Each structure stands twice: as structure tokens, then as C-alpha cells.
Amino acid sequence: MNYKTYTIKAIQAAIAAGNAINEVYRLEDFAVEYKTDKSPLTIADQKSHEIITNALRGYDIPILSEEGKDTPFAQRKNWRRFWIVDPLDGTKEFIKRNGEFTVNIALIENSTPVLGIIFVPDRNTLYFAGQNFGAYKLENGPFSELLESRPDSKEKTSALLDQIMGQSTRLPVIDPQRASLTIVGSRSHKNAELEAYVEEKRKSFGDVEFISAGSSLKICLVAEGKADLYPRLGPTMEWDTAAGQAIAENAGAGVYQYDSQKPLIYNKEDLHNPWFIVKR
């Protein structure tokens, strides 16, 4: 299937949401609430959710979003195609004001991510990927112009995406000078299991570099070729990983369940992911 129309729409939704997030981010102060699971929530999360769901509703494809996640499995279980959205991945990084937060949008078909968009608002950086056209990174692109573009045919939409791809870097970009094994891990969710994993790799490989990063940027670093492994030995949700998985897989990396080495799958009754590893 040609996913180019969906890709353009999802990119535009992510950029619009990212602009709204940045407006809140640049305020001197903003309110932080806490959900029942004690995870933080800001007005930026809510604004992003509204912008993205309004933008994607026109396709008559269901949407599963972190900020609208209460769709019962009895209804979801029949979905063969749906959007999965994290309107603001890395709210803790947003609150810390370190720039490592993202907007994540993915299209799932038959439990598999076939299209992924990750926009990094504070860094003005876009990652995007889809089956049949690969994975790309665009830094400081013509995002305002892209947001205003309204191609009125499949041909113009395809041409617009081809133009964006032409301005982007195709992933991965492998540095032949990088000799050490590079592991990326969570900036805000380090635990004993991760420390033990890194120590085990040091015993096996000797020279191991460890990078801390927030949000879905960790998956992007493996997709780019800047890291070799991202072990997530702790809890995540489906919307945390879907877009990153699409980007990683279309960049030649894999996202696997830690114990079984099978790919992560989506729209489970329990939306929690098992432990997983992203590897090149």
C-alpha cells in the first residue's frame, strides 16, 4: 500500500502539535497535574492530543492516544488499522526543560507499525518512516511551509513527500570511526536491571559507551546509527514505542521483546509493553 498521503497528514499533525507544545514550553511557568498512575500531565499534553485527533479524524481510522486511552478492548479488538499517538512523550523531560520530548504518531496495521512520525519540537527535528519508502531525519526543515501545504491530489501529496525526502537524511548513517559498543538508556527511568545489563556488556565487549536520553529519542538514536542497543528493562506503553519501532525497522534495526526476540505487537488487551530491546 502507498502510505504517502497518511504520512503527510501525520507529519502536519505532529508539527502543529509541536508548535502548540513549544508555546507552553516557553512560558515562564506552567501547571503540572498528576494522573492516577502518578505520571505528570500538562496543558501541553492536552493541547497536542486535541490537535492531533482533530487532524486525523478525517480518515475514518480509529485513534488510540495516551490522553484518550480508555477505549475498551471489546471495541478495540476488531481494529485492523488504527492510529496510535503519544501527544507528548517525555513529559518529565518537558518539565525539566531539557528539550528531550517528542510527538509520536504511528499507523498500525494488523498489530504492526507501518508508518511512524516523531517530531522533536524544541530541536525542530523530524523523523519519519513508512513501509516502501524507508526512514528519514530532517533537521530545521521548512516546517512552516509544510504545515500550510494542502496538496489536493494523491499525485501532489506524493510529490510533496518526495520533496521532503529529498531534503532529509536517509537512515541509518553509520560512522565507520565509531569502534565502541554504544548503549542508550533512559534519562529518567534508570534501574538496577539496566545497570546490570550495561555491566554485562562491558565484561563481554570491554569498551562500552553509555548515552542517556529521554522519550522516543532513544529508539531514534539506534535508528540513526548513533547507538547499537537500547534495552528497555522497565514499563512502557504501546504509544511510547509504536512510531519509534516503525522508524527503527525501516532503518534496518529491530525492536524485539527482550525474552522471546519477537517484534513488539500492538492493540493488546493490556496496552503495556513487555521488556524490549532495540538493536542494530
User: Given 150, 170, 190, which residue is the final one in a domain?
Assistant: 170
Asked if residue 248 and residue 271 are part of one domain, the reply reads: yes
46: CATH: 3.30.540.10
Q: Is the peptide bond before 87 cis (omega within 30 degrees of 0)?
A: no
Please check whether residue 176 lies inside any domain of the structure: no
Q: What is the pLDDT of residues 144-158, one digit of tens each?
A: 999 999 998 889 999
Kindly give, in sequence order, each residue whose CB lies less than 8 Å from that of residue 9, ignoring residues fewer than 6 positions away.
55, 56, 58, 59
- Cα dihedral sign, 110-261-259-249: negative
pLDDT at 201 over 90: yes
What is the residue whose three cell numbers read 509493553? 273
Q: pTM of the entire structure?
A: 0.95
Bridge partner list, 170: 136
- Residue 38 resides in a domain: yes
Q: How many domains does the chain have?
A: 2
**Within this chain, do residues 17 and 101 fall inside the same structural domain, yes or no?**
yes
Check pLDDT > 70 for residue 1: no
- pLDDT of 14 reads 98
Whether residue 162 sits in one domain with residue 242:
no
Residue ranges making up the domain that contains 232: 181-279
Judge whether 228 and 222 are in contact, CB under 8 Å.
yes
Q: Do residues 107 and 81 touch, judged by C-beta distance below 8 A?
A: yes
- DSSP strand pairing (208-213 vs 181-186): parallel
Task: Note the pLDDT of residue 127.
Answer: 98
Do 188 and 162 share a structural domain?
A: no
Q: Both 18 and 96 in a single domain?
A: yes
Distance, in Å, from the CA atom of 225 to the CA atom of 167, rounded to the nearest integer, reads 19
Percent of the chain with pLDDT over 90: 79
Residue where a domain stops, chosen among 136, 170, 204: 170
Q: Which residue has the higher pLDDT, 177 or 92?
A: 92
Q: Is the pLDDT of residue 3 over 80?
A: yes
Output the nine-digit C-alpha cell for 31.
501547571
Is the same domain home to 102 and 186?
Answer: no
CATH number, position 195? 3.40.190.80
Q: Is residue 69 part of a domain?
A: yes
pLDDT for 67: 82
Mean pLDDT, rounded, for 173-199: 86
Give yes or no for a contact between 112 and 130, defined as CB atoms under 8 angstroms apart. no
Asked if residue 17 is part of any domain, the answer here is yes
Tell me which of 170, 189, 210 is where a domain ends: 170
Residues 187 and 163 in one domain: no
**Within a domain: 47:** yes
Whether 175 is covered by a domain: the verdict is no
Q: Dihedral of the CA atoms 149, 153, 159, 161 (nearest 10)?
A: 60
Question: Whole-number mean pLDDT of the chain?
Answer: 93
* Element (DSSP H or E) covering residue 170: strand 169-170
Whether the per-residue pLDDT at 252 is higher than 60: the answer is yes
The verdict on 58 and 130 lying in the same domain is yes
CA atoms 183, 133, 241, 16: torsion sign: positive
**pLDDT bracket for residue 2 (50, 70, 90):** low
